[in-house]
Amino acid sequence: MKVNNEIYDCPVTATLEVIGGKWKPIILYVLMSGTKRFGALSVRIPTISRKVLTEQLRELESDGLLIRRQYKEIPPRVEYTLTPEGQSLWSVFNEMAIWGNNNRRVSQK
Amino acid sequence: MKVNNEIYDCPVTATLEVIGGKWKPIILYVLMSGTKRFGALSVRIPTISRKVLTEQLRELESDGLLIRRQYKEIPPRVEYTLTPEGQSLWSVFNEMAIWGNNNRRVSQK
DNA sequence: CAGTATCCTCGGTGATACTG
DNA sequence: CAGTATCACCGAGGATACTG
């Protein structure tokens, strides 16, 4: 997500630049529970198109938050795993979850 | 920001629904240091148009994060103040700032 | 001073079809 | 299975001018 220009570069906006947007939080959240295949991500997030899922995963990869492993098999297999940097976002998500639970009405899954 | 549909309603996305987007973090951050007038916000965030600033402030107000106080004077004076709920976002921003400082290259103001 | 009112641009997202 | 390619849309955000 294009959050802001360099004038306002600050750690908070830098973080939102990486985890903000419509799909990245849920993708990262799903991957927090461990390595997932492309298809598994697609099943867990059924309303995202494969095109957009691919794009978001590529961005998270180039931001160093996850690793893409492609196995040269038939049928193809591609796995996505959080890097330590990606996993370290847990504390951020946790703080957001606490605030959301305390201050928002959240319907449960 | 339209983050996601109800299927993925979770505390994290609920939080991002409120503080995500291009301008809200910086607006909230500026207001963390105390009540500000419309013009003061505009000066501190010079690249936001007044139209968009107005829109964002209205959304933050209807989300209960800030209070808008209008003084019937000439010239007009309008002040924006964080509610306790808005101020309670400090811990969220703090966690994001820590992560950003540890994991991103951030140019200083 | 603190906004509105209009008009417009652009990029993120979606739908659909195709492929190694 | 895990993608690409193409086309299309829509709405957040921006530019500019006007106002109580």
3-class DSSP state for residue B70? strand
pLDDT at B104: 85
- Tell me the pLDDT tens digit for each residue of A18-70: 998 889 999 999 999 999 999 999 999 988 999 999 999 999 999 999 999 99
Interface of A with B in 49-108 (CB under 8 A): 85, 88-89, 91-104, 106-108
> Smallest Cβ distance to A29: which of B12, B45, B103?
B12
CA atom of A16 to C1′ atom of C16, Å:
32
Mean pLDDT score across all residues of chain B: 89
From the CA of B16, how many Å to the nearest CA of chain A?
Answer: 8
CA atom of B47 to C1′ atom of C5, Å:
21
Residue B79 has phi, psi (to 5 degrees) of: -120, 145
Q: Above 60 in pLDDT, residue A107?
A: no
Dist CA B6 CA B8 (whole Å): 5
| Mean local confidence (pLDDT), A73-95 | 95
* Domains of chain A by start residue, with CATH: 11-89 (1.10.10.10)
Dist CA A107 CA A105 (whole Å): 7
- Tell me the pLDDT tens digit for each residue of B39-79: 999 999 988 999 999 999 999 999 999 999 999 888 899 99
Angle at CA of residue A107, ends A44 and B23, nearest 5°:
85
